[in-house]
Structure 1
């Protein structure tokens, strides 16, 4: 569970031709920002306490380890926090998270602050099983984001090294905050609040109860996990700007500038979707049903990214169950990666990101115009709370998908192929997807193959040099990929038939 820095969001908006970056809204309907609830010593909750108010007789919401949510702590952020300072800030932030969210921590959460260089060094020590790496490569090749010669895991690792502001580890039940200051890593209280809340989510709802085995399932669950976390960030920062003004450990300009450039914005677009659509999804539930309604989401989380992108489809519009039968020959075999399913799912969010990516790569609009990705207010500026829009005509009718990878030891360089199967709400929706996919092929300089039905080749110079067969059958579309036209029917029998 990770906090993504605002820098990467700003990058998306800059690439989309926007002049401003998303900021936290300074107005909210949440009553606790400006209410008259009395603090323990009968002073208004919006006023800071210069000394410790009396501790309660038992643990209560808004108090943790000797600190109330609205009292000051005596720390010096500029030179980093020593152990006692860190302990005080963490305890007060836990109290503040409790106060906002109405949930009590079961136990203290260990927190450490490290530099971004140290974080990147730790990432570099991680390894991924070979077949899992290969499958991931095929998945992002199928989305036409990362070319055949590039290690997709390395790309995503570099992206994380740039964009992640902190993370909670369920396995270790601990938090790491990442600082861009290399000499004296500094605490960012807003990042801390979200990671503390992820720890609280784990304590109350249990992350191990969720199936996040594919990117689609991961993003769908994160619509609640990250949506709730980022909504809490939003409310927390309101209090920092209002009731708690002057007491929060906020990043300075250098800390807000991020950790450098993304290696490839494509995977980031895909992974960012729940951070974009999740907060307004959760906010709407909170405003209608209170925190009890939000808590209930953990028992019945969204079944798809479609349900988060289109809240009106939650919870009744379940995705279709997609199956891909292996119809291979001549040495082609299904790739079965270690420790994960032998298929991928990317959902509406993934297909949207596939079609949006060329607009950022090329600064033009071959499939979906970049300006359609921005939710704008009445003055034409990006909306502050919900700046990004993952809806588009070619993707709104999504009903399910699967990506299956195939390998063949007999091919040169042990090349791969895949089947990318999608189902849509109607024949019209399927046709709109196919039309958009053909524009994507055209963007990659594809040429239609004479004498073959619905078959294209993409030149090697694009990095995606392969043969493609696109078959629509009513509301279902099957895309077959192979190194050559002749290989298509070996990867999936019946592909690329004679015209």
Structure 2
């Protein structure tokens, strides 16, 4: 995915998938792929293999030097993961900053409307990116040990890709993947790399684990920053729940979750499938508004959105009843800088819907005060609610009706 021109309705994907890693000093993979339920320290994964390793598979370091032995680190990751793969070159470059980061997310229309803001990234800390064929590392002003931890994280991504661990790897998806599916895959990818880096740190380094570091940043960061860190926090939690040895990393991707709800709550696809939800749209002939696309944001994105205006614990509790959602995006026919959105959400039961309703009422009220966008809350039935937001004209033109589990979005004709 490029960081060039992006369709505004894909802004949440940009925030949570692309910028979600590139803007934080943890390392990332380019594989397209709330606070945690338990933030207390957890047992470290137990690596297999000897404490000392044979140094082979020489790694080429390009465009500069590193304060660590890249070849030794690579061979140690092979030992920890019980694999034997060929290395890719390591290039000393801050590719994270070049690709785009959480610094720019607030400039995108959907993100700005929902309350996400531009934030500053600390490039003095080591960061990394793994692309097909190369690993990029930016040491910054970090210690050799921190740089080595990032490099171990990146090598874990190399192992993931080299051994074809992901069930979706090489598969051609039919319909365009939703935000929730992309974020689910991203979270599983990053969670595996954090798990491996934790085992590596436990064995070879005398510094904080990758998980502890990510959780500390998560707890102390802004809502936008937390949304960027969520794949690391929830991903490592899920992988740790599934396996206890990085040599068994591939097992973490067997019967893998398909929604962020399932990742957050350590569930399989059969344990908590999305609730049935059908959303249809109809635009009147003389309407100024054109339908662009629809999407599913998922529990992780819902939590992150509510977190922009509510406290973290309340946002997490309200989002926990997520059953399904659809976000419909519309654009003005003659002014492409004007947008309107309808976000329909279905919750698992009436009790959880009541909790969400209270949270959404406060969220929409606060967003109206803090932005120039219109925000209208709509209760549709006992388990289905919606938020119509964006351009004020669109908010007045959109009518929602719910019948037998189907929601119809009708955008009326423009006034003469």
2:345 pairs with 394, 419, 422, which one? Answer: 422
- Give the secondary structure class of the aligned counterpart of 2:333: coil
Alignment of 1:237-276 (within 5 A): 237-241=201-205, 265-276=222-233
Q: Distance in 1 between matches of 2:225 and 2:397?
A: 33
Alignment of 1:299-318 (within 5 A): 299-312=254-267, 315-318=270-273
Aligned residues: 355
2:150 pairs with 173, 191, 194, which one? Answer: 191
Distance 1:108 1:64, change over 3 A: farther
Q: Distance in 1 between matches of 2:329 and 2:387?
A: 12
- Give the secondary structure class of the aligned counterpart of 2:279: coil
Say which one has the larger Rg: 1
- Give the secondary structure class of the aligned counterpart of 2:324: strand
Q: Distance in 2 between matches of 1:169 and 1:465?
A: 38
Give the CA deviation at 1:232: 0.9
2:101 counterpart of 1:113: no
1:490 match: 397
Give the CA deviation at 1:64: 5.4
2:238 counterpart of 1:281: yes
TM-score (normalizing by structure 2): 0.70
Q: Distance in 1 between matches of 2:398 and 2:191?
A: 39
Alignment of 1:29-428 (within 5 A): 30=46, 32=48, 45=51, 63=54, 65=56, 89-105=69-85, 107-114=86-93, 116=94, 120=97, 122-123=98-99, 137-141=108-112, 143-146=114-117, 155=118, 159=121, 165-170=127-132, 173-181=133-141, 188-205=147-164, 207-209=169-171, 213-241=177-205, 265-287=222-244, 294-312=249-267, 315-320=270-275, 322-329=277-284, 330-335=287-292, 342-358=293-309, 367-368=310-311, 370=312, 372=313, 392-410=316-334, 414-428=337-351
2:387 pairs with 455, 470, 479, which one? Answer: 479
When you count strand as a share of all residues, which structure comes out higher?
A: 2
Q: Distance in 2 between matches of 1:491 and 1:66?
A: 61
1:377 match: none
Gaps of 5+ in 2: 1-17, 28-33, 214-220, 402-408, 411-416
Distance 1:119 1:219, change over 3 A: closer
2:378 counterpart of 1:470: yes
Distance 1:214 1:185, change over 3 A: farther
Output one character per residue of 1:24-46: Cα deviation in whole Å (capped at 9) or x when no partner: 97x636265xxxx7x6xxxxx4x
Distance 1:429 1:493, change over 3 A: closer
Q: Distance in 2 between matches of 1:23 and 1:88?
A: 31
1:5 pairs with 17, 25, 45, which one? Answer: 25
* Contact 1:142/1:418 (8 A) holds in 2: no
Compute the RMSD of aligned alpha carbons.
4.4
- Give the secondary structure class of the aligned counterpart of 1:188: helix
2:404 match: none
Give the CA deviation at 1:399: 1.1
Give the CA deviation at 1:201: 0.5
Q: Distance in 1 between matches of 2:26 and 2:40?
A: 8
TM-score (normalizing by structure 1): 0.60
Distance 1:161 1:431, change over 3 A: farther
Gaps of 5+ in 1: 14-21, 40-44, 49-61, 68-72, 74-80, 147-154, 257-263, 336-341, 359-366, 374-390, 445-457
Give the CA deviation at 1:478: 2.1
